[in-house]
Amino acid sequence: MARTPISVFNRGGSDAGFTLLELLVALTLAGVLLALVPPALGRGSDAARLRGAATVMARTLALARSEAILTGRDAAFVIDLDGRRFGLAGRAAEGAFDPSVRVELTVAAQAVRGRTAAIPFHPDGSAGGGEIRLSNAAGSAVLRVDWLTGRVETAGLR
């Protein structure tokens, strides 16, 4: 049995290739798609920065509560707005804010010294209470510390 070679480029005798119109349409579509990609990636990285900052902060708040309960002594979560850092009082800073993340605090007046604030946690599990709002171009996240139970709740993270 003899085999007949078949070419995918042969269009029944006409010249193979693309027309100028087909090339222009393809290049236009590629340009539009490339123009849409960077903004989409930027929103994704902003959301990741926000989610990361809120997660680390919530864990550090929970760590302060656990430390107070386990040691039987007060512990405090401290946030330095000028230095854009946070952590447990008496220790090196646990985390830092990305410059794109905006921070707003609501805490008791006696817990504020200049641009540094603290949320105290007590051995019985209670806390000074407060709210920390983080926001950037991707949205916002809110961390609430219940004054009675000391529990940390997060809202706005997806």
Residue 15 CB burial class (10 angstroms; 0-12, 13-18, ≥19): exposed
- The fraction of the chain above a pLDDT of 70, given in percent, is 81
Q: Which two tokens stand for residue 125?
A: 């599990």
Q: Over 60: is that where the pLDDT of 6 sits?
A: no
Domain-wise residue ranges, the chain: 24-155
DSSP, res 95: E
The pLDDT, as a whole number, for residue 19 is: 85
| Top-level class of domain 24-155 | alpha beta
**112-142: per-residue pLDDT in tens?**
888 899 999 999 999 999 999 999 988 999 9
Among 10-19, 70-79, 81-90, 131-140, the range scoring the smallest mean pLDDT is 10-19
The angle formed by the CA atoms of residues 69, 117 and 82, to the nearest 5 degrees, is 135
